[in-house]
Amino acid sequence: MTPHEQEWLGVVEWSAGTRERLIWRAGRLEPYRTEPLPAPVNYGCLPGTFNPADAAEVDAVWLGVPLAVGTQITARPTGLLHLADNDHKVIFGTLEEGARELLAWFPAGRGATLLGPQQAQDWLESLVAAPSSPVP
């Protein structure tokens, strides 16, 4: 399998069109907060990855129809939302189904730009695995 064909497991933490946001911690979803505005896309993370920009698992978005919180999806990235602060978001789904809304969601100061699937794979592969939790 070539790098651009690698699939990644993601979990939806926040469904498109809703304000209630959950967070993936220690292998399960927990309540996080109620956002002032609904998410324009499905938002979540890629468990087992680690983004040093925010010391958390890599953020992911799924474009298209709303997905239920807790949905787990294994898929190939279709793009990368590149941000100036390096807290990039991996994109899944057809870019024509929400890219405009995704870009509009981020303030201009964050320097959001869309990159392709190979840039997403290259960035993911440059990261180290998520740190292990200490065993009690």
Entry pTM: 0.89
Neighbouring C-beta atoms of residue 82, cutoff 10 Å: 18
**105-118 tens-digit pLDDT:** 998 899 999 999 99
H or E segment at 113?
strand 113-115
**Residue 90 belongs to some domain of the structure:** yes
Which pLDDT belongs to residue 61?
97
Q: How far apart are CA 4 and CA 7, in angstroms?
A: 9
- Per-residue pLDDT at 10 exceeds 80: yes
| Number of domains present in the structure of the chain | 1
H or E segment at 30?
strand 28-34
Q: Are 41 and 62 in contact (CB under 8 A)?
A: yes
**Residue 131 belongs to some domain of the structure:** no
**Residue 83 belongs to some domain of the structure:** yes
Token match 């698992």: residue?
Answer: 57
Q: Which domain holds residue 35?
A: 3-126
- Residue 5's pLDDT band (cuts 50, 70, 90): confident
**36-95 tens-digit pLDDT:** 999 999 999 999 999 999 989 999 999 999 999 999 999 999 999 999 999 999 999 998
CATH of the domain at 92: 3.90.80.10
- Burial grade of 33 (CB within 10 A; 0-12, 13-18, 19 or more): exposed
Q: Which residue has the higher pLDDT, 136 or 78?
A: 78
**Residue 11 belongs to some domain of the structure:** yes
